[in-house]
Amino acid sequence: MNSSTHKLLLSLGLVLLTTSISQAQVVPKNLGEGKPAATKVDGVRLVPAKWAEYQKIVIPGNGKRFTLVDAWATWCAPCKENFPHVVEMHEKYAAKGLKVVSLSLDDTADAKAVKEATEFLVSKKALFTNLLMNEDPEFAFEKLDISAIPSVFIYDAQGKEVKRFTLEDPNNLFTYEQVEKTIQALLDGKPLPEFKKGKAE
């Protein structure tokens, strides 16, 4: 392979990588439906769940008072970048009454994506409930009433949504620091904090 050909291939590779990252928050279309695929590695289990099952799982139970759900996917770079905050909140607040759930919106029919999701969760030591939405991706986004991820949902002891953090308003993006401050307030029985509107850094 001559130098010119090598540089051309390298340039094409960089273009594809840049395009992939720039589309990280875009909802994928026509991914299709597939059969459930449960995986478990090193104590981390990724469990397929239908929407009806998800609605039951978000009810805290077992002495927990609130449930935090982090919606993510392997194709979403910002989701993976911020996931350590989710793990940290589990470690800090589980004993205080917080149940943490990660909700992968990857396509269940994509074995490679399911494997990648499991490996990612293992690498982050996500030792809490990890769900794989077993619905058509577009259906899942519609039911959650979002168009982009990451998104975070907080539910009370009855499974009622009490707060959500989404990317629907580009001029009012959230941070995981805001999510944590909200969790702290809920667990301490204090009023929910108000945040200034603005683009997240």
CATH label of the domain that carries residue 81: 3.40.30.10
- Domain annotation covers residue 140: yes
- Domain annotation covers residue 99: yes
- Domain annotation covers residue 67: yes
Mean pLDDT of 80-97: 98
- Domain annotation covers residue 159: yes
- Domain annotation covers residue 196: no
Return the pLDDT at 170.
87
Mean pLDDT of 10-33: 36
- Domain annotation covers residue 192: no
**pLDDT band, very low/low/confident/very high, at 24 (cuts 50, 70, 90):** very low
Distance CA 27, CA 23 (A): 9
Domain that holds residue 173: 39-187
Of 51, 142, 61, 152, the closest CA to residue 99 belongs to 61
E-assigned strand segments in 73-176: 98-104, 129-133, 151-155, 161-165
Number of domains in the chain: 1
Contacts of 130 (CB under 8 A, 6+ apart): 44, 45, 46, 47, 101, 102, 104, 121
- Domain annotation covers residue 176: yes
Q: CA torsion sign, 80 to 84 to 85 to 89?
A: positive
- Domain annotation covers residue 147: yes
Angle, CA of 80, 22 and 70, to the nearest 5°: 30
Mean pLDDT of 156-169: 96
**pLDDT band, very low/low/confident/very high, at 40 (cuts 50, 70, 90):** low
CB distance 92 to 119 below 8 Å? no
